Each structure stands twice: as structure tokens, then as C-alpha cells.
Amino acid sequence: MLQVEILPVLDDNYIFVLHDAASGATAVVDPAEAEPVLAFLQRKGWRLDYVLNTHHHWDHVGGNLELHGATGCRIAGARADKDRIPGLDTFLAEGDRLALGDNVIEVLEVPGHTRAHLAYWLPQAKRLFCGDTLFGLGCGRLFEGSAEQMWASLQKLAALPGETLVYCAHEYTQANGRFARTVEPGNGALAERLRRVAELRDRNESTVPSTLAEEVATNPFLRPSSAEIRATLGLERAADLQVFVALRCRKDSFKA
């Protein structure tokens, strides 16, 4: 059975610790810092086998070298980022697989936020670790990739089973929701989700994970076919990609 623990770090980052109880195997996803991970592992008495990096940004790889030095773990990430991810020694690309005990980790290439962004999909456990590609009610900015790449990446993730638990790397849901409400105010599922999100944040609780079904029903970046969104943007007859581009541009300049 897979156990997932969430470690909040920095201002709004999440580090995820994956543990297979039967084998004792453990992986950590996107360790911005090493100290919280090492302290957690010590409390649990767990060994660290893998660091799984989704992309090269400092707030996802900052703990790599210290974790490797303290535990001897392998550091996995995109082969195309071999010169940008500290300590990378396990080179991954689309279709590769890793084992964490009996859990299979499938590697998905999801460029857009960066040119070599990865996501990690565990089909048996129905867990998705998507870094900064898909957020609660949002998606990542286009720093290196194109809108076409990001839209294709989001479609790839949206095709996974609806019950999939989505572990994004930042606590952005409430802020993203303020934008989502401006482009699809008539979405009842969105209104209900924002109510629940507000309750969680009032208690200082995480909004992560969400389910993929929730994202498909409420996240505007997965909903360019929505008639209300299209009407809001004045793009009733546009292609989905064109609607996505307009949403991303509007979000980039949005002031909550």
C-alpha cells in the first residue's frame, strides 16, 4: 500500500514523501529543501531510495545534493535536464518506469512550464505528481515551452482516470479560484469547490490533493470547450487551443 505524506515548505511549496510499507521503499518528489525531509525520515525511521524531480527550478531541486549526501539516494529527472538538475543520475523520458516496492511509477513528459517537465503517474495507486504543470484550478506559466505544448500536456493529464488524486507542487488553489470565477461565474461546481477551499484555508489546511474529476469540472484551463468561458472571452467559435491561449494570457495579467 502506498502512503503519501505532504511536507509544506518555503511560502507555498509542497514536498511529497511516497512510502511503500511492505518493502520500506521511499521516494521524495521535488525536495525544495533537505532538512524537513531528513527530519521527517528520521522520525519515521524510513530510508530514502529516490528523489523524483519534475523540473529544474530551484524550489523543486534545492535539497537534491544534501539528500544524496545524507542517504545515498538516486536522483531521477528528465534526461533533457541532465545539466540543470543537481546530482541527476537516473535519466528519464516518456514511457520509462520506476518501481517503488510493488508500485509502478510511469514517467510522462509534460512540457510547457519548462521544456523538459515530467509528471509521475502511479496507476495502481491512482496518484499523479505533476509539479507545476497542473495546479488546483490552474496551470503553470509558460516559461520555456509553448502554449501548444502546455495544452497537449494538460490534455494528456486530463485523460487519466477521474478518481486520480492530483498532487501539485504549490498551494495556489484559492488564488487560482479567484481567476476561475471571473471567466466561468455560472459554474456551480466551481462555486461549491471555492466554498470548500475557503474552509480548508481558514483552518490552514492543504487543498492538495484534488481529484482529476474535480479539475476537469472546475479548472478553466481544462475547460476551453465551456460555452460560458468562450462567451466571456468572445471566442465562441475558436479552437480549444485558441481559448486556452486567451485564458493563459488573461491569467498572466490578472490582479486578484
Question: What b/e readout covers 134-157, taking b as 16+ CB neighbours within 10 angstroms?
Answer: bbbbbbbebeebebebbbbbbebb
Asked about 56 being catalytic, the answer comes back as no
User: What distance in Å separates the CA atoms of residue 125 and residue 2, rounded to the nearest whole number?
Assistant: 7
**Candidates 60, 68, 81, 117; catalytic one:** 60
**Any catalytic annotation for residue 59?**
yes
Would residue 45 be called left, alpha or beta, if left means φ above 0 and alpha means ψ between -120 and 50 degrees? left
Q: Per the residue annotation, which of 56, 57, 68, 117 is the catalytic one? A: 57
State pTM to two decimals. 0.97
Known binding site: residues?
55, 57, 59-60, 113, 132, 170
| Bind-site residues for Zn(2+) | 55, 57, 59-60, 113, 132, 170
Task: Identify whether 19 is a catalytic site residue.
Answer: no
CATH architecture of 2-252: 4-Layer Sandwich (3.60)
Sheet holding 2-9, edge to edge: 2-9, 13-20, 26-29, 50-52, 74-78, 90-92
pLDDT 10s per residue in the chain (256 long)? 899 999 999 999 999 999 999 999 999 999 999 999 999 999 999 999 999 999 999 999 999 999 999 999 999 999 999 999 999 999 999 999 999 999 999 999 999 999 999 999 999 999 999 999 999 999 999 999 999 999 999 999 999 999 999 999 999 999 999 999 999 999 999 999 999 999 999 999 999 999 999 999 999 999 999 999 999 999 999 999 999 999 999 999 998 6
Sequence-separated (6 or more) residues with CB below 8 Å from residue 68: 51, 75, 87
Q: Which of 19, 56, 68, 170 is catalytic?
A: 170
DSSP SS3 for 84: coil
Q: What is the pLDDT of residue 1?
A: 86
Among 233, 255, 231, which Cα is nearest to 244's?
233
Sign (positive or negative) of CA dihedral 28, 72, 89, 10:
positive
What's residue 230's pLDDT?
98
> From the candidates 55, 56, 68, 117, which is the catalytic residue?
55
Beta bridge partners of 9: 13
CA distance 177 to 256: 10
Asked if 68 is an active-site residue, the reply is no
Distance CA 214, CA 193 (A): 8
